[in-house]
Structure 1
Amino acid sequence: MRESERLWHLAHKYRMGMSFHGLWVEDTNLADVASRIGADPASGVECTWADIGEGPNPGGNTGIAWMGRLNTGWTQIIVVGATPFDPLSALSAGNRRALEFAWTVNGVHDVLLAVDGRYVTALSATRPGVRKGTDPHALDRYTSGLQFDAEDSSWRSDPDLLPSWLEYSDWAETLIDMSDDDMVDDPHESMPSEFRQPLELSLNGYSPPMATCVTSALVVVGRITGRELDEEWMNGLHTRVLIP
């Protein structure tokens, strides 16, 4: 595994390779944090990530937020489900900092920073040098050594690339270029066995440049908060609340 991809692979391990929605706020009062994202603190229950789906089924546009203290200064929140809400203004109110980062199969979102109820910076995770906001360069000091370029192709010559990925990628490209008339049989039936892992990763949203962009964005968050997303936190007991 390439070091530049490690946090995407961590997310994938916890079934978040295709979709992830993270929030971070400079506040460790969980009841306060729950209220500010529109959840009822009294409805909170402690659970592990493995049990995140247990309990009442929210249904509709209601989402689940799984939140816990990241360290002495920050709370980390993972949102599950389709939740059309805009939490950063409320989360950052009271002269706090709050961050948001997400991706889906449709693309990787910007890293968003809000301070004291106002959006400050939107840092593109996929387009080099693209920044927006009232203070567009507020996050630049956290980006040293990281790569935000969905069009990067340097991975093709990286010796740490996942085994068989380059060969699988070239094979998949030939399928894209083939017409329906050219395909006599299901190409996956004759697919080399060593392509099974690359195919599984691809179906879960993986590509080397995307995984690098995602990892770089999560590293930025970790540099700001003082702790990256990690297995210890993901394996912990945190509070599950519903977001109506």
Structure 2
Amino acid sequence: MDMPNPTHLYDLLESRWENIADGFAAVWAEGLTVEETARRLGADPAGATELTLEDIGLGFEGDEMPGDEDGIILVGPCDAWTLAVQVQWMDVTEEPRLSELSRDGGRAIAIGWHGDGAHRVEYAIDGRLTFSAPLEEILDPLHEYAEGLRMPTDWDVPVDVGSPTEEMITTALTAIGRLTGRELDEEWLETPHVRYLIRRTR
């Protein structure tokens, strides 16, 4: 069997959201509905719209137009978990949101980055943040799901040879997929989910 490209999950995400290197965030929440996930993230239920990640920036009109400070998220079921991805700001990675998502015996794990830097993982269990570190350390809390996985070690490779950052993100997404029971896939990205805004006080 052919081994997958070491950047295949990053490449899959980039094929649906070309600005991924500029900033992206995602959180998986255990055992919650889409609506409850959005509520705990502080999203505005008004104007909720079904669309795909590729179309997340389309269809805003009038008062629904997001401000520069508003978070834009897409929330959908991912088997026994719910996945929320964010393309503007990184609210889904903040400790208070993770505590809310994981309270009452649940779990929530988030990854995010901006400007092709500040790659982070945050992991909360039962309302408490249990791990917060650079993304390359994600295999520590997920060690039981890390068999056969390794983070890139050579960060001084030429750009035309490949990107260790893209490999790191793919490795992280693979480990999270093992934790949640479903790896991020083309079906999830092609299926319409619910877009919400996280409004700032105006």
Task: Please report the TM-score for the alignment, with normalisation by the length of structure 1.
Answer: 0.69
Cα distance, 1:148 vs structure 2: 2.1
Residue 115 of structure 1 corresponds to: 125
8 Å CA contact retained: 1:114, 1:120: yes
Residue 96 of structure 1 corresponds to: 106
Residue 150 of structure 2 corresponds to: 147
Residue 77 of structure 1 corresponds to: 84
Question: Aligned Cα RMSD in Å?
Answer: 2.6
8 Å CA contact retained: 2:24, 2:88: no
Identity %: 34
Which structure 2 residues correspond to residues 158-197 of structure 1 after superposition, within 5 A?
165-166=160-161
Which deviations, in whole Å up to 9, do the C-alpha atoms of 1:115-165 show, x marking residues without a partner?
Answer: 111111235433xxx57xxxx943211222222246356x78xxxxxxx93
Q: Which has the higher strand share?
A: 2
Residue 75 of structure 2 corresponds to: 67
Q: Relative to structure 1, is the Cα distance of residues 84 and 222 closer, same or farther in structure 2, using a 3 angstrom cutoff?
A: closer
Cα distance, 1:230 vs structure 2: 1.1
Cα distance, 1:89 vs structure 2: 1.0
Which deviations, in whole Å up to 9, do the C-alpha atoms of 1:22-45 show, x marking residues without a partner?
Answer: 110002411111110001334422
8 Å CA contact retained: 1:125, 1:149: no
Which deviations, in whole Å up to 9, do the C-alpha atoms of 1:1-37 show, x marking residues without a partner?
Answer: 9621111111111124312211100024111111100
Residue 175 of structure 1 corresponds to: none
CA distance in 2, matches of 1:152, 1:145: 20
Q: Secondary structure at the match of 2:101?
A: helix
Question: Is 1:242 aligned to 2:165, yes or no?
Answer: no
Q: Relative to structure 1, is the Cα distance of residues 150 and 36 closer, same or farther in structure 2, using a 3 angstrom cutoff?
A: farther
CA distance in 2, matches of 1:152, 1:141: 26
Residue 34 of structure 2 is aligned with which of 30, 48, 73? 30
CA distance in 2, matches of 1:221, 1:4: 15
Gap regions ≥5 residues in structure 1: 157-163, 167-206
Q: Relative to structure 1, is the Cα distance of residues 7 and 50 closer, same or farther in structure 2, using a 3 angstrom cutoff?
A: closer
CA distance in 2, matches of 1:120, 1:227: 22
Residue 17 of structure 1 corresponds to: 20
Residue 50 of structure 2 corresponds to: 46
8 Å CA contact retained: 1:123, 1:139: no
Residue 179 of structure 1 corresponds to: none
Task: Please report the TM-score for the alignment, with normalisation by the length of structure 2.
Answer: 0.82
CA distance in 2, matches of 1:10, 1:34: 24
Residue 179 of structure 2 corresponds to: 224
Q: Relative to structure 1, is the Cα distance of residues 17 and 82 closer, same or farther in structure 2, using a 3 angstrom cutoff?
A: closer
In our comparison, the structure showing a higher alpha carbon Rg is 1
